[in-house]
């Protein structure tokens, strides 16, 4: 199952001849008796006995190849071709340089046009990106981002937004067997300047800027970090359809009765900003029997994963149509987004028993509790039926206003906020 991943990761870490043994998959959820059968059985890839391979790995003398030192450089030519456009489309597809859809071929002329919309030099380093923490990080320049922006079909005026996204170094194709998705929300004057959609259909396939900016991030994540190679740098068992465009849209600031998201995060109204979120999915709560929006939202958030690792915590992102936002403020009394987040934090609870039984909690949070990290260490001592908040703080629950007021609709996703970047810095 993970042969390619193991071998390419070892190669990239400088150990192309690392000695491995595999057992049948999965190990997770199997009883000890099955684990023993695995150990006493055969490696499903080589067919050799697992025990024999383990002992040979420990005792068989090294070969000359295994003793080698030195460096392996990996460079690619700057130019591809010459060839016909049709052949180049097939080459890009075959090389895994696309998202499976036809691309705009990045001729030098088209890339030069894209580069005109930034004041930065083409050879300026924009950032580094890796598919996930164990993987190596690749570097990329302004020109390389421009190439991928052209491929996505983006217009040159979108380029500062795409550069801002690329500057975060955050991949949209995070490599996990659980199939993550990303979201990018744009705020500030740039949204109207380049014709982004924040109203009706904003999260759907109806706007050129929304579509191509989001797509550019996917191509950047594949090509500028070595990501998206199935079995090696992408392991999502089912994949995530949101990854085609990464839910790229503009917040509806004109019809937002509260502060826009970027202002909540400390930016000024006149600044243009991209904000990045990560999660797994978005859904609605038509099934809720609650009458008021804030109670419906709490009901849906009550099904989201509550994990917390050393580097990230569970979050929720509530996407409300302006009609819903107006109602939440004027009828239900939440005159700021922060007050709504606070209420949701205090009222979206779960039992201690359910918390520790959650799969991701047992993998990521239990080790922290055992090391004495609070509040988890204290939660280990609570009775099973004690109630604790599902989210660690109100800050983990964010609200974005988007939509065209054809329906008092809202959705929510288990998306946590990662960070924001300035678009203006890349003009």
Partner 1 sequence: MKKGINYSLIGMFLLTSLLFVNALQAEEAKITVLNPLGQPPPIALVPMAPRLGTLDGKTIYIVDVGFTDTHQFLVEMQKVLAERYPKANWIVRTKIGTYFEDDPKLWAEIKEKGNGMIMAVGH
The strand ranges marked E within 233-372 are 248-250, 273-279, 282-283, 316-320, 349-351
Span near partner 1 by CB under 8 A; candidates 63-71, 255-263, 329-337, 403-411: 63-71
CA angle at 173 for the pair 15 and 307, rounded to the nearest 5°: 95
Q: Does 356 bind partner 1 (CB under 8 A)?
A: no
Min. distance of Cβ 370 from partner 1 in angstroms?
9
Structure tokens at 41: 């059985």
Q: According to CB under 8 A, which one of 9, 18, 178, 295 is a site residue for partner 1?
A: 18
Tell which residue, 128, 151, 159, has the closest CA to residue 141: 128
* Residues in 78-137 that interact with partner 1 by CB under 8 A: 78-85, 88, 92, 97, 105-108, 111, 129, 133-134, 136-137
Sole binder of partner 1 in the list 61, 205, 266, 287 (CB under 8 A): 61
Helix (H) or strand (E) holding 215: helix 208-223
Please tell me whether residue 27 binds partner 1 under the rule CB under 8 A. yes
Residues 255 to 314: which contact partner 1 by CB under 8 A?
A: 309-311
Q: Does 19 bind partner 1 (CB under 8 A)?
A: yes
Which one of 7, 8, 9, 11 is in contact with partner 1 (CB under 8 A)? 11
Q: Is 151 among the residues that bind partner 1 (CB under 8 A)?
A: yes
Beta strands in 188-243 (DSSP E): none
First to last CA, the chain: 45
Instruction: Output the smallest distance, CB 254 to partner 1, in A.
Output: 36
Nearer to partner 1, 11 or 409 (CB): 11
Nearer CB in complex with partner 1: 151/274: 151
Based on CB atoms, which residue is closest to partner 1, 132 or 336? 132
Kindly determine how many residues on this chain lie close enough to bind partner 1 according to the rule CB under 8 A. 90
Q: How would you class 89 by CB atoms within 10 Å of its CB: exposed for 0-12, middle for 13-18, buried for 19 or more?
A: middle
Q: Which is nearer to partner 1, 37 or 192 (CB)?
A: 37
Tokens linked to 111: 């890339």
The closest of 129, 228, 237, 245 to 179, measured between CA atoms, is 237
Please name which of 168, 220, 205, 161 lies closest in space to residue 187, comparing C-alpha atoms.
161
């Amino acid at each position: 199952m993970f042969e390619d991943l193991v071998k390419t990761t070892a190669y990239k870490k400088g150990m192309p001849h690392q000695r491995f043994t595999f057992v049948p998959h999965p190990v997770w959820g199997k009883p000890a008796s099955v684990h023993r059968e695995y150990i006493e059985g055969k490696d499903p890839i080589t067919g050799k006995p697992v025990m024999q391979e383990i002992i040979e790995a420990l005792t068989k003398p090294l070969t000359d190849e295994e003793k080698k030192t030195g460096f392996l450089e990996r460079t690619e030519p700057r130019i591809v071709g010459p060839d016909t456009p049709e052949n180049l489309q097939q080459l890009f597809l075959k090389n895994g340089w696309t998202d499976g859809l036809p691309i705009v071929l990045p001729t030098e002329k088209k890339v030069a046009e894209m580069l005109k919309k930034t004041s930065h030099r083409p050879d300026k380093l924009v950032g580094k990106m890796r598919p996930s923490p164990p993987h190596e990080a690749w570097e990329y320049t302004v020109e390389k981002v421009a190439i991928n922006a052209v491929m996505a079909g983006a217009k040159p005026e979108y380029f500062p937004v795409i550069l801002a996204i690329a500057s975060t170094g955050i991949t949209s194709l995070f490599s996990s067997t659980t199939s993550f998705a990303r979201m990018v929300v744009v705020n500030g004057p740039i949204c109207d300047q380049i014709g982004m959609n924040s109203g009706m259909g904003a999260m759907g396939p109806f706007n050129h800027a929304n579509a191509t900016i989001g797509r550019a991030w996917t191509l950047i994540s594949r090509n500028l970090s070595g990501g998206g190679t199935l079995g090696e740098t992408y392991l999502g068992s089912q994949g995530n359809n949101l990854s085609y465009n990464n839910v790229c849209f503009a917040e509806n600031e004109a019809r937002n009765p509260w502060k826009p998201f970027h202002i909540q995060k400390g930016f000024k109204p006149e600044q243009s900003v991209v904000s990045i979120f990560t999660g797994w999915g978005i859904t609605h709560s038509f099934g809720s029997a609650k009458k008021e929006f804030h109670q419906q939202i709490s009901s849906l958030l009550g099904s989201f994963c509550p994990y917390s690792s050393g580097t990230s915590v569970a979050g929720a992102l509530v996407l409300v149509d302006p009609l819903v936002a107006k109602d939440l403020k004027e009828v239900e009394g939440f005159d700021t987004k922060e007050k709504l987040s606070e209420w949701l934090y205090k009222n979206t609870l779960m039992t201690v028993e359910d918390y520790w039984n959650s799969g991701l909690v047992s993998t990521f949070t239990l080790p922290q509790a055992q090391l004495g990290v609070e509040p988890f260490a204290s939660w280990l001592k609570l009775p099973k039926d004690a109630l604790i908040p599902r989210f660690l703080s109100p800050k983990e629950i964010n609200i974005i206003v988007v939509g065209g007021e054809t329906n008092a609709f809202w959705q929510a996703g288990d998306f946590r906020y990662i960070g924001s970047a300035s678009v203006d810095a890349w003009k």
